Structure 1
Amino acid sequence: MSKSLLQPTALVLCGLSTIVLGQSADPYALQPLLITAARVAQPMERSLAAVTVFDRAQIEQSQATSLPELLQKVPGVSLANNGGPGKSTSVFIRGSNSNHVLVLVDGIKVGSVTSGSAAFQDLPIELIERIEVVRGPRSSLYGSEAIGGVIQIFTRKGQGQGAKPYFSVGAGSHDSYSGSAGVSGGNGPGWYSLGVSSSDSDGINVKPREASGYEPDRDGYRNLSASLRGGYRFASGLELDANLLQAKSHNDYDSVNRTGTAGFGANADNLSKVLGLGARFAPLEPWQVHLQAGRSEDKSDAFQDDAFYSRFDSRRDSFSWQNELSLAAGHQLIIGADYQHDEVSGSTAYAEDSRDNRGYFAQYLGSAGRHDWQLALRRDDDQQFGRQHTGSLAYGFAWSEALRSTLSYGTAFKAPTFNQLYYPGFGNPDLQAETSKSLELGLAGRHAWGHWALNAYRTQIDNLIATVRVNGQSQAQGVDTARIRGVELMLGSELLGWDWQANYSLMSAENRSRRLAADGQSFYGRELNRRPGQQLNLDIDRRFADLSLGASLHVQESTYDDLANQVELDGFVTLDLRAEYRLSPQWRLQSRASNLLDAQYQTAAGFNQPGRGLHFSLRYQAL
């Protein structure tokens, strides 16, 4: 999909929608929504960050079968996947590296301390209640990793009176089966939620037929997950809550050595676990204290040639103390401290296998009339890299009830992972922390015919770490400087009874390093790999009494798989159709045709993506 085709297509779709939608007689209004982009709950209309939210109803309406599939709908987000559902998936936000994304599950930071990324493909979408994707730097609030943005995932939470069970079962192409069941509810001051989810697929042959030496077999995937969450509010105002999420998976993949003599029957057993405990109380009326402790684990046992191959066991313990002070109406001060301990063990010996980080932060949120502002400062003391200081400043102004503009500036950093520093033959212990500076301008409108938003940003990343080939071997190296510029356009409304949601992303992610790599190459002026310059998403839905119909279109421009821009990944277009029939207020029957155009494409070189597929599911939700 070339630039000459994608950009006019996006402009025609968005422009035509705007012209026609303006004639709609029925006003389109967003529902009141609270988000946590500032570490405290805020109305979305007062937020100074670019945020996309999916609630449980939207997740089920989309009929997405995995978390990465849903995230691909977010403006400025792109994916690199190694062969379909269950395969390793990298998420890029606004052109930053895939490990520049901070991921929180029920407030607990997750992700491997070796690779630096979360196992998005293993997180069970059936057990998720809500997702917030914050685009832009957030290190001034959360510390390392939040250069590109933050993804907050909240598991299902009980509410109301009594128990409300839910259930789903599904089947589809590639001998795929799925199921989930659970119960949630509450009784006065207490609430709870318990759920289990499973999926099983024979998958596809992830390697192209022309890839010699690899097994011409289907590479399957299995996942079994469970979540438990509950809380209680005492008469004194003290609130306690706890959460547990565990996902166990088995993944078959293709791996072979250069001579094609070893690496057959490759598979891995993976475990992701998140445990959190929280307490909230008010020592004084204007002072709220929030304490949270958590542990996240990421484990993997790999096998090849009918024998054990490797084991990685990463663990992250964290503790947070946050104080929220209401100074006056519209004025809030948040101060606190974070502690984090990372540790790795397994079959690979690292020169260093643990480190500590202590962070101290302060944030001031203000609002007066048409004005909103946010100021945040943070200092991190890292055991390996010493001190890192970050900050952010944002301002919003409402020109009218229908039009609002925002301006923000923020710095961020990312500490190198244990793999980048110490993995034998790959790591580089001389690497420094990556740092960034970002400037963003936003404009948003809400009208009788619909809503729209436009965000323009510029980010410079210094000491960017990338993987390069030196003497035929991959190594982690700093590429000095990268410059990323982009624009995101979002539009939503109602046309002839159809709900429309569209977004278009235009981005330039360019290597600006004049320093030669270890193999003598210069990457100056070349595109950062796996960052498509243009993307378009379009979702339409309509309900006819008990029948609902919908479609999703994703268009992505070509990009490169390597820093040298020698391996090109073609652009592609995918079209999904979906239908839902309400058998009763509690029971629903869903069907979905994915990749209806049977596009043949890759988001990571050498790894196929599934072709045309069908999926059916039956859902029950007690009212």
Structure 2
Amino acid sequence: MKKTLLALAVTSVYFPSFSSIAADDKTQADDVMVVTANRFEQPVTSVLAPFNVVTRQDIDKVQAKTLTEVISLLPGVQVTQNGGRGQLASIMVRGTNSDQVLVLVDGIRMARAAKGAVDFNQIPLTQVERIEFTRGARAALYGSEAIGGVINIITLADVDAPSKTKLNVGIGSHNYQEASASGAYKVGENGLLQLAAGYEDDEGYNVKPQPGINDGDKHGFSSRNAMIAYHQRFSDTLKGFISARWYKNQYQYDSSYVDFFTGEPVHQYMQSEPELFDYSAGLDLDLGRYQSKIIADYQHQTNYDYNKAATTLPVVASQDEKFTQRNLQWNNHYTVNENLQLVGGVDWRKESWKDKLSTDAFSRNNTGVYGIGLVNVNDFSLESSMRLDDNQQYGSQFTYNVAGGWYITDEVQLRTSYGTAFKAPNLYQLYSPSYGTETLSPEKSKNAEIAVVANYSLIDLAVTGYRMEIDNLIGFNNTSWKYYNESGKSKIKGIEVEADFDTGFLSHQLNFDFKDPRNSKGERLDRREKFSFKWVGTASFGDLDSALTYQYHGKRPDQYGPTGELPAYDTWDLALTYWLQPKLALKGRVANLLDEQYETAGGYEMPGRTYYTSINYQF
């Protein structure tokens, strides 16, 4: 089999000359087209922001089971998780809060964002075609939440994609079972039908042991998901799609406690059951120098939690809520000449949250108008973007971003940018009957960065320094049990180093992350590490492909950790793929190879050494 390179923590195409060669895929990075950076399709080499792409082949190479496993390998990312598979997970980029990272699915934000950060464990990895990830402020393009960066999870194929089918079955530790099928099938000369379905079951383990209270509990996870999409090319200039996606998950978690008044333990073995329906349709017009795209999307998600250990009937829900979201996006791109491109459009969104336990229901509209100009003259590039958001709750917010690039030599480019961003209080923070504060103000940030990117025949290297200031950071008061705005400025500064090189048969992709995240009082932000190091090594030996992954994460403050701090930890993962035939692969993976005992969130034990094996057939 051909050797597969996983660039900069699973395929970074940050570097202009970097090439990624997946098995049976000869696409060069210079030709890779991305859409997330500036909301139109452009070569990744023209992007002035730190940018990474994870393909389906990359996900299969490292044999990731969850989105968090994939994203955790990317530069600037830190993951905290309340235990193993299916438990609540948060993604923090450059030390920002998890709800200061905008998460999109096919360019549309998730409905769950109406209550806060997206739980990545609830998005089925089997439906993912690729992931695009950009760091830094992008609010001038996308609006609220894009302070730390943007993650765009892409599930839809292109209408011109070839027919293919992929089948996968597997088993693993904790009685893990999985099966999935996906495919894209040509319908006539101009149609493409895309299908995907899958399930997972994991018996789990006790993620939060409390002796004498929850002995014997296991906190597992199960998922059922499906997707169908149809793509049609109506003419040489017009194409469109319609899609529907569904998933329903179940996972258990622990909420046991000791009663403050009686001193008696109260066993709460909880089960959460989120379910999502997502319907979208779009049209894409391409007239050469002018392209226009319109997308409509409707999402409906319910979250239902109850105590499985309850001994009285009927069981009373601890959480029963519904989210709905309607989106309409219109984006336009015009190439004036070879040196100047213009982009502009309108986003409209209506999001709703209903707490069925209190019969409270809240909704709001948001309309955003944005414009981008991109100039390229010889060795110089300039991007300028601005956006105005008008929201029913928090009024108008204006954001902007300016970025420039200069090729000092043929191999070395200097990049710099400055921009503003904001994060609006979500509906839960504003209106929760128990915890909400209706007078919350939006968080506002100023972001600056400078980078040197070098591409040589022996190594690709990037060094990025950044600094951000955040006003009105939204926090939670453990005394009043209310959300509030912190006074003063929270400051985060850091340096990211990325490198990609080969030594003989072994390919190396690594990144270092140094940062200093502090609140307005100068205290380290909770659960933020100051240093991390990630390395992915890949090699092929005949019909055997291998991927070895190492991660080191430094100590970080955590109010629930020992002495208010969690110790540093490091983990190794090994994945092997043996090609029995050109389209039939036997896979094996050992996660946490050295059985490291660690926590990413205080009080929640991460899994020890776990094993997985699967067989994959593609045709």
Give me the TM-score of the superposition, normalised by structure 2. Answer: 0.90
Equivalent position of 2:22 in the other structure: none
Tell me whether 1:268 sits opposite 2:272 in the alignment.
yes
Equivalent position of 1:290 in the other structure: 293
Q: Is the 8 A contact 1:488 1:506 kept in 2?
A: yes
Tell me whether 1:149 sits opposite 2:156 in the alignment.
no
Distance 2:399 2:161 in 1: 44
Q: How far apart are residue 160 of structure 1 and its match?
A: 5.5
Aligned positions, number: 580
Distance 2:288 2:590 in 1: 54
Equivalent position of 2:612 in the other structure: 615
Distance 1:604 1:543 in 2: 36
Tell me whether 1:121 sits opposite 2:93 in the alignment.
no
User: Structure 1's 68 and 575: CA in aligned 2 closer, same or farther, altered over 3 A?
Assistant: same
Aligned AA (1:500): H
Q: How far apart are residue 427 of structure 1 and its match?
A: 1.3
Q: Is the 8 A contact 1:108 1:276 kept in 2?
A: no
Equivalent position of 2:32 in the other structure: 33
Q: Is the 8 A contact 2:354 2:361 kept in 1?
A: no
Tell me whether 1:477 sits opposite 2:476 in the alignment.
no
Equivalent position of 2:506 in the other structure: 498
Tell me whether 1:508 sits opposite 2:516 in the alignment.
yes
Q: Counterparts in 2 of 1:535-614, with a 5 A limit?
A: 535-562=532-559, 567-614=564-611
Aligned AA (1:34): M
Q: How far apart are residue 450 of structure 1 and its match?
A: 2.4
Aligned AA (2:191): G
Q: How far apart are residue 616 of structure 1 and its match?
A: 0.5
Q: Is the 8 A contact 1:133 1:150 kept in 2?
A: yes
Distance 2:554 2:265 in 1: 37
User: Structure 1's 356 and 331: CA in aligned 2 closer, same or farther, altered over 3 A?
Assistant: same
Q: Is the 8 A contact 1:170 1:615 kept in 2?
A: yes
Equivalent position of 2:8 in the other structure: none
Aligned AA (2:567): D
Q: How far apart are residue 115 of structure 1 and its match?
A: 2.6
Distance 1:619 1:382 in 2: 47
Match of 2:502, SS state, is strand
User: Structure 1's 182 and 564: CA in aligned 2 closer, same or farther, altered over 3 A?
Assistant: closer
Distance 2:288 2:460 in 1: 38
Tell me whether 1:429 sits opposite 2:431 in the alignment.
no
Aligned AA (2:362): D
Match of 2:45, SS state, is helix
Q: Is the 8 A contact 2:221 2:250 kept in 1?
A: yes
Distance 1:30 1:157 in 2: 19
Q: For residues 168-215 of structure 1, what are the alpha-carbon distances to aligned partners after superposition, in whole Å with 9 as ceiling and x for unaligned?
A: 0111111111111122133432222101111100111011355x6334
Q: How far apart are residue 441 of structure 1 and its match?
A: 0.5
Tell me whether 1:80 sits opposite 2:80 in the alignment.
yes
Aligned AA (2:303): S
- In structure 2, which of residues 313, 331, 338 is the aligned counterpart of residue 329 of structure 1? 338
After TM superposition, the structure 1 stretch with the greater mean CA deviation from structure 2, 69-78 or 322-331, is 322-331
Q: For residues 427-464 of structure 1, what are the alpha-carbon distances to aligned partners after superposition, in whole Å with 9 as ceiling and x for unaligned?
A: 11111000100001011111111211111100000000
Equivalent position of 2:189 in the other structure: 188
Aligned AA (2:205): I
Q: Is the 8 A contact 2:526 2:557 kept in 1?
A: yes
Q: Is the 8 A contact 1:276 1:292 kept in 2?
A: yes
Equivalent position of 2:63 in the other structure: 63
Distance 1:371 1:573 in 2: 41
- In structure 2, which of residues 464, 472, 487 is the aligned counterpart of residue 455 of structure 1? 464
Match of 2:246, SS state, is strand
Equivalent position of 2:19 in the other structure: none
Q: How far apart are residue 379 of structure 1 and its match?
A: 0.5
- Alignment root-mean-square deviation, CA: 2.0
Give me the TM-score of the superposition, normalised by structure 1. Answer: 0.90
Distance 1:290 1:159 in 2: 15
Q: Counterparts in 2 of 1:107-506, with a 5 A limit?
A: 107-157=107-157, 163-186=163-186, 187-209=188-210, 213-235=213-235, 237-259=237-259, 262=266, 264-282=268-286, 286-304=289-307, 305=310, 307-309=315-317, 310-349=319-358, 353-470=362-479, 474-480=481-487, 481-506=489-514
Match of 1:133, SS state, is strand
Q: Is the 8 A contact 1:105 1:274 kept in 2?
A: no
Equivalent position of 1:4 in the other structure: none
Equivalent position of 1:519 in the other structure: none
- In the TM superposition, structure 1's runs of 4+ consecutive aligned residues that sit over 6 Å from their partners are 563-566
Unmatched 5+ residue regions in structure 1?
A: 1-27, 513-523
Q: How far apart are residue 492 of structure 1 and its match?
A: 0.8
User: Structure 1's 93 and 197: CA in aligned 2 closer, same or farther, altered over 3 A?
Assistant: same
% identical aligned pairs: 30
Unmatched 5+ residue regions in structure 2?
A: 1-26
Distance 2:615 2:372 in 1: 46
Q: Is the 8 A contact 1:240 1:280 kept in 2?
A: yes
